[in-house]
Structure 1
Amino acid sequence: MKIAVIAESFLPHMNGVTNSVLQLLRHLRREGHEAVVVAPATSWAGPAWAAEQAPAVVEGFEVHALPALPLSGYPNVRVAAGTVSRVRRLLERVSPDVVHVASPFVLGWRAIQAANQLGLPTVSVFQTEIPAYAQRYGAPWLEQLLWNHVRTMHAASTINLTPSSYSMAQLASAGVPRLRMWRRGVDTERFAPARRSGELRRRLAPNGERLIGFVGRLAAEKQVEDLAVLADLPDTRLVIVGSGPLKAQLQELLPGAYFAGFLGGDELGEMVASLDIFVHPGESETFCQTIQEAMACAVPVVAVGRGGPLDLVDNSRTGWLYAPGRLADLRGHVTDLAYDDAKRQAFASAAWASVQGRTWPVLCDELLGHYRSAIATAGARV
């Protein structure tokens, strides 16, 4: 097959959308398929952004980079400019069998319209609960309008993929048709118990403290400030991995925490495996890949019981879930695991076992099946 991958977010900005696209491209190359990527490029904001370029080639596949503007208040995130006609011309030139639309919103919506005009099948992947961000960014009145946009985009797509049962129910209640489940894989070589580093632990926890870690964007939707309820737990230390617009504010709020900055590759795997407990307070996760990566490292999880974590965390076996807003429960669950070595080890073993078999090749093969289904559906309409 030849696949046009439309990425609402892409390199050099790393997040869940970018990571899943990169994993897909690696799989397509290994399996002998063809692909092209359409993604946001450098900003128009001036010379300071000259280095913020999307690469021209990834995994041997060409990247068509469209000029983009930085998102206000979050300059690392870029919104691609250009019209439906421009995207249509790109797709005409590429002539793909199917169009994969990763987390559509602006660029993705243009691609869906362009593909429909050309009679090309689209597989749209719901990966970001953008309507939920409205409340966090001080614009709650936008939430329903944003859900209307989500429904319009996905109603125009051949097949819609959702990463969790919670998201599936959300989209179904919003009136989105043709829904199918597609979860995410985990790299069980990069994220593995063997990555645990005694040297790193001695540096971060010189007195044998329990390391409680978070990995993700330091942005409003991740609710990292909620971790302040853990800051005074005796014989523990918070480890915050990631970058984003709230970094300085969070460093002031959590002066005893270790801020590792952005980590990737084996360095990230080593850090996650060296934790004792993984925490995730964000309430708007459609999946939450970092939870799955922590579990692959045999690190038990305490997460908010909404969205993707509901599928990933088996409550009282691989970790603990707490109700949104119940920060006393967050503290209580972390306390339960931090000071009970036997329970923490039992949860860790169960967490590791629960993610075995969820490799990216398995999940990407499943995605290829969705492509074939979309192609067959589009062919039946002709």
Structure 2
Amino acid sequence: MRVAIFTDTYLPEVNGVAKTLGRWVNYLESRGIACRVFAPESGDDSEDKPDRDFVHRFYSIPFLLYPELKLAIPNPFQIRKALREFEPTIVHAATPFNLGLFGLRYARKNNVPIVASYHTHFDQYLQHYKIQWVEPTLWRYMHWFHTDCRRIYVPSPSTKAYLEQKGMRGLEVWSRGVDTELFRPVSDREKILHKWNIPSDSFVLLYVGRLAPEKSVDVLLRAWHKLPADIRSRGRLVLTGDGPLAEELREMLPQNGHMIMTGFVQGRELAELYGAADLFVFPSATETFGNVVLESMAAGTPVIGAAAGGVLDNVQHNRTGLLCTPGSEEEFAAAIERLYRDGELRASMGRNAREYAEQQSWEQIFGRLLDSYRDVLEQESARVRGDFAN
């Protein structure tokens, strides 16, 4: 098996898709399966050096709906040469856009089976950017692109159901795991908070993700202002991430001394923040999975999230966290207050969250995906034999 992956985001980018694909490539290589990744150029060449032998990079421009995501401007000659030398036996399109189109064209022209993975509800982003009129065209394109895909991998049951309602077929759940050795409860909370100039007796509400309209950060801020004065006086709202709303939020910092913006944080430092927080509050209703939710749960921190999308698939209401109506700052504020006042319930939810996360093994998840690849190849082989016999 030789796998060619076409994607609009890859390591060292810090989003969930890039990290997942990076883990997948590492898993395949650990099984002796050769890979080639076709991705936009990286913003940090020094971090990119370890993967240069199998990652082909292309000049890129920011994507309208998601500027941190890059749309590659592919070099057809470079792609054709690389694919001709590599001769992939299966193509995986992790994007339906520019690079994905090259993967699709190669698969069709050379009779190589192609699979796809769906990562982002771009249609749900449209309303936040006031271009809802694009949606019918987007779905026509999505149906056309995926017509020849043998499997379309989706990250959660809710995403599968959503796409089925849109008329998509051939869907299969490819879930996500979490590194429970990295993301785990902490024993040095006071030291971690001190690093961020947060008093040790603070009640810490953490948000991790893109600071953008589609993540409903405004709901979180309105919920914060609805909290009783005693909670806000002790509370600290920690926003981790970056995005188009970052500058506007930074302007609010002088007026709100209880809000901390950390910028991008990753690795051990991010894991420590999850573990040191009292609650993880995530109002986004547009997630296909929500990796950050699972990371928080692995750290033993209960989640207060929107009852929609991938968050709904992972958070067990009243067991590992609380689910709120999307967009309802009143419900988010009430949920925060409930868990602030009931420390025993909060601790119980944290233990349950950790227990749930420990069952989400990357090894098992990737093993199932590899089996699916093999099944696609076996079906292709059977089809070719049948065509030959006829």
Contact 1:13 1:77 in 2 (8 A): no
Higher helix residue share: 2
Q: Structure 2 matches for 1:361-372, cutoff 5 A?
A: 361-372=363-374
2:238 corresponding residue in structure 1:
239
The offset of 1:217, in angstroms, is 1.2
Give the structure 2 partner of residue 2 of structure 1: 2
Write the deviation string for residues 211-269 of structure 1: whole angstroms up to 9, x where unpaired.
00011111222121211124343221111111122101123346331111101111111
The two structures have a TM-score, normalised by structure 2, of 0.89
Q: 1:80–1:107: 8 Å Cα contact kept in structure 2? A: yes
Q: Is the 8 A contact 1:103 1:128 kept in 2?
A: no
Q: Gaps (5+ residues) in structure 1?
A: 43-48
1:182 maps to 174
Change (3 A) 1:53 1:77: farther
Q: Give the aligned partner of residue 80 of structure 1.
A: 72
Partner of 1:325: 327
2:304 corresponds to which residue?
Answer: 302
- Please give the secondary structure, in 2, of the residue aligned with 1:194: coil
Candidates 54, 64, 79, aligned match of 1:62: 54
The answer to whether the aligner puts 1:248 opposite 2:253 as a matched pair is: no
Tell me if 1:133 matches 2:125. yes
CA contact (8 A) 1:37 1:61 kept: no
Q: Is the Cα–Cα contact under 8 Å of residues 11 and 22 in structure 2 kept in the other structure? A: no
Supply the distance in 2 between the matched residues of 1:151 and 1:321 (Cα, whole angstroms): 32
Equivalent residue for 1:166? 158
SS class of match (1:193) = coil
Alignment match, 1:210: 203
Which stretch shows the higher mean deviation, 323-332 or 99-108?
99-108
Distance 2:330 2:299 in 1: 26
- Higher alpha-carbon deviation: 191-200 or 170-179: 191-200
Determine if the alignment matches structure 1 residue 376 to structure 2 residue 382. no
Larger radius of gyration: 2
Larger mean Cα displacement after TM superposition, 243-252 or 18-27: 243-252
2:48 partner SS: coil
Q: Secondary structure at the match of 1:145?
A: helix
**Match among 333, 356, 366 for residue 354 of structure 1:** 356
Percent of paired sites with the same residue = 31
Is 2:216 aligned against 1:223? yes
The answer to which of 350-359 and 290-299 deviates more is 350-359
Aligned 8 A contact 1:3 1:100 in 2: yes
| More displaced 10-residue stretch of structure 1: 336-345 or 228-237 | 228-237
Structure 1-normalised TM-score?
Answer: 0.91
Q: Is 2:337 the counterpart of 1:345?
A: no
CA shift for structure 1 position 207: 5.6
CA distance in 1, matches of 2:188, 2:125: 34
Write the distance in 2 (CA, Å) between the matches of 1:195 and 1:164: 32
**What is the CA RMSD across the aligned residues, in angstroms?**
2.2
Aligned counterparts of 1:117 and 1:341: Cα–Cα separation in 2? 61
Partner SS state of residue 308, structure 1: helix
Secondary structure at the aligned position of 2:300 is classed as coil
Q: Residues 238-317 of structure 1 correspond to what in structure 2 (within 5 A)? A: 238-253=237-252, 255=256, 256-317=258-319
- Alignment partner of 1:109 is 2:101: yes
Q: How far did residue 204 of structure 1 move? A: 4.4
User: Does 1:37 pair with 2:37?
Assistant: yes
